[in-house]
Amino acid sequence: MRFFQVDVFAPRPFSGNGLGVFPEAASLSVSQMQVLTQELRQFECIFLAPGDSSAVRAKVFTMDEELPFAGHPVLGAGAVLHHLAGAQAEIFSTLELPEGRRLEVHSTRTAGGFSVEMEQGMASFGPTLEDSALLAALSLGSEDLQPGLPLQVVSTGLPYLIVPLARALDRARILHADFETLLARHGAKFVYLLDVGAREGRTWDNRGAVEDVATGSAAGPAGAYLVRHGRERPGGWLAFCQGRFAGRPSELAVRVAASGEVSVRGSVFLVAEGRWSRLPAPSEGIER
């Protein structure tokens, strides 16, 4: 079975967020997809299969679980689909995620890679929060927050708790033994720390063990959050950075239209293509 290794939100090859893309995954079971993701040890992998005449079915996995949506896998898949389609300067693809959600992806060729843009749709906003336990669980205090901005859960398909910071992005850590449960009480799946002045973000898996280096599913909500709270105007592209603390600098672009529709764009480079010489058994899994 063929697969590709790509770098997403990458200013150059061998930066940004690595991703495994499996473009011919129709025969794989969910457990096989999980095992292959764990074998590659990427933050996420995406598995593609033919859908109806206008869409490609897609499933996204982390090392621990399947996700309903994630940003950098969608962009990486768009680049691989463009690569496989031939020499066209640009193509449009539709990815169908679980539960029938469809995402439109636009890919254009660049020098050595691709520029890929996806439409994430409208952001949904939860209530604003004041929770000292959440801040303490992140090794933060109220004095580290950006004045005038609240903690808030925002989602374009995956709910993130946006924590707006004026400082201390470098020393933030997940310290809580059951951080996922703490987030779930507020309707969030993950946390996204945003240095508002620098437009720089950080997020981790909920154990705090692995830092994500570029998170499109969080950058979209972060851009919508800044527009909603009057820190940015709608219509233009907003530049975000991430990955500095993990040694993988990444560049993400977000646009929030006047209608509220969110788009995310990034550069993608194909860095490897290979074939698996064997596959796990259909029911095989790895306990974690």
DSSP labels for 167-214?
S-TTT-----TTHHHHHHTTT-SEEEEEETTTTEEEEE-TTSSSEES-
Distance between CA 242 and CA 230 in Å, rounded? 22
Q: What is the pLDDT of residues 41-95, one digit of tens each?
A: 988 999 999 988 789 999 999 999 999 999 999 999 999 999 999 999 999 999 9
pLDDT band for 286, please (50, 70, 90 cuts): low
Ordered by start, the domain boundaries in the chain are: 2-121+268-275, 124-259
Is the pLDDT reported for residue 287 higher than 80? no
Pick one of 3.10.310.10, 3.30.465.10, 3.10.620.30, 3.40.50.410 as the CATH number of 124-259: 3.10.310.10
For residues 206-215, one letter each, b for 16 or more C-beta atoms within 10 angstroms of the residue's C-beta and e for the rest, the string is bebeebbbbb
Q: What is the mean pLDDT of residues 154-158?
A: 96
Q: What is the pLDDT of residue 285?
A: 61
Q: 124-259: same fold as 2-121+268-275?
A: yes
pLDDT band for 131, please (50, 70, 90 cuts): confident
Residues 112 and 269: beta-carbon distance below 8 Å: yes
- Over the chain, what is the mean pLDDT? 95
Residue of 78, 68, 97 lying closest to 19 (CA atoms)? 78
Q: What is the mean pLDDT of residues 192-215?
A: 96
Q: What is the pLDDT of residues 220-236, one digit of tens each?
A: 999 999 999 999 999 99
What are the residues whose beta carbons fall under 8 Å from the beta carbon of 226, sequence distance 6 or more? 196, 232, 238
Residues 114 and 79: beta-carbon distance below 8 Å: yes
Pick one of 3.90.1300.10, 3.50.50.60, 3.10.310.10, 3.40.30.10 as the CATH number of 2-121+268-275: 3.10.310.10
Q: What is the pLDDT of residue 279?
A: 93
Q: What is the pLDDT of residue 132?
A: 87
* Higher per-residue pLDDT: 283 or 274: 274
**At 144, which amino acid appears?**
D
Token pair recorded at residue 60: 């996204």
Is the pLDDT reported for residue 288 higher than 60? no
Q: What is the pLDDT of residue 40?
A: 94
N- to C-terminal Cα separation, the chain: 25
State what percent of residues in the chain have pLDDT above 70: 98
Strands (E) located in the chain? 2-8, 17-22, 44-50, 56-62, 66-67, 90-96, 102-110, 113-122, 124-129, 151-155, 160-165, 190-195, 200-204, 211-212, 237-242, 250-256, 261-275
Q: What is the mean pLDDT of residues 241-269?
A: 97
Q: What is the pLDDT of residue 42?
A: 87
